[in-house]
């Protein structure tokens, strides 16, 4: 049975995580692939897609895929960094604390 302190710490962590999720909505990351620009929020939602008129129509799918993938990777990094900061502030272990063994080795 969890102690009162553990329950309180869990509540604080949940509250902080919700705050970070709110902040992530307002963080936008961008990736561009030869005329195709994708903007994604920190919580991995597409904000905007722009395609330069000079981009050949047949190139759009591959360029869009590349821009989406890079934008999503950037957003995941931002999100993970923010969540690690919350976990660290709460005294909870993070992936950095685990070191190489934390990755299942």
Mean pLDDT, the chain, integer: 85
The pTM of the whole model exceeds 0.85: no
Highest mean predicted confidence (pLDDT) among 42-46, 50-54, 82-86: 50-54
Tokens 């597409």 belong to residue: 46
Q: What residue ranges define each of the domains in the chain, with the CATH number in brackets? A: 22-91 (3.30.1310.10)
Rounded to an integer, what distance in angstroms lies between the CA atom of residue 39 and that of residue 28?
6
Residue 98 φ then ψ, to 5°: -75, -25
pLDDT at 100 over 60: no
pLDDT tens per residue across span 67-79: 999 999 999 999 8
């Amino acid at each position: 049975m969890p102690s009162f302190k553990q329950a309180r710490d869990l509540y604080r962590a949940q509250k902080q995580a919700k705050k970070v999720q709110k902040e992530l909505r307002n963080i936008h990351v961008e990736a561009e692939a030869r005329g195709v620009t994708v903007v994604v929020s920190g919580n991995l939602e597409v904000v905007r897609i722009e395609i330069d008129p000079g981009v050949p129509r047949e190139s759009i799918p591959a360029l869009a895929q590349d821009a989406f993938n890079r934008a999503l990777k950037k957003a995941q990094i931002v999100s993970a960094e923010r969540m690690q900061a919350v976990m660290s502030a709460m005294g909870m272990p993070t992936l950095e604390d685990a070191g190489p063994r934390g990755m299942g080795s």
